[in-house]
Amino acid sequence: MTHGPGHAVGYAVFDTAVGRCGVAWSEAGIVGVQLPEAGGPHATGRRLAKRFPDARSVSAPPPVARAIIGMTALLEGTRDDLRDVVLDVRGVPPFNARVYALARAILPGSTSTYGELARQLGDPTAARGVGQALAQNPFPLVVPCHRILAAGGGLGGFSARGGRDTKRALLAIEGATSVDQLPLFGGKSD
């Protein structure tokens, strides 16, 4: 996704246990989260500036600063579920917003599947649509798309840098109980 759902006014980058992450916000909440990018210490900031060309690199206001603290703590292994982080979902397609709301209910260390989220949405045939919505997730970590697996416990996809290896690492940081049983090189997709 090249832009966030809302009009970003600011962005900031911050160091975490997995590398430099970033966040962009509007007056209504967070519009985007950026996981670490390849290409050196300034790559994440460049990526955010590209995603949100009207935003400025500025100090985070208190609600965003609290979100940064929560994301940093989560990446250090705490069980912060980040559900208190306010998202600006204006412009997010309604189906995606419903998927993101369900994903946010999955606690750190727990997982679900694309198919289970589809069933919760009332359409068991929508697993592929769930996967597509998660691939467009502008709020990784806050909307924990890494906690959604493929059928049969397969890892499924992950669109951030590092792909499935990053997904596996995030699950391991959170202590997901099934992470040791996930296939090393993929698995069945749902």
What is the predicted pLDDT for the residue at 178? 57
* Catalytic site includes residue 21: no
Question: CA 48, CA 38: separation in Å to the nearest integer?
Answer: 13
Each residue's pLDDT tens digit, 93-149: 999 999 999 999 999 989 999 999 999 999 999 999 999 999 999 999 999 999 999
What are the E-state strand segments in 69-138? 112-113
What percent of the chain shows pLDDT beyond 70? 89
Q: Please, what is the end-to-end C-alpha distance for the chain in angstroms?
A: 22
What percent of the chain shows pLDDT beyond 90? 71
Mean residue pLDDT across the chain = 87
What is the predicted pLDDT for the residue at 7? 78
Active-site hit among 145, 150, 160, 170 = 145
Question: CA 163, CA 95: separation in Å to the nearest integer?
Answer: 24
Each residue's pLDDT tens digit, 148-184: 998 877 787 777 777 888 888 899 999 886 554 544 4
- Alpha carbon separation from 72 to 20, 142, 160 (Å, rounded): 10, 11, 17
Q: What count of other Cβ atoms lies within 10 Å of the Cβ of residue 152?
A: 12
Do you know the residue count of the chain? 190
Model pTM?
A: 0.87
**Interhelix angle 94-104/127-135, nearest 10 degrees:** 90
Pairing of strands 29-34, 10-16: unpaired
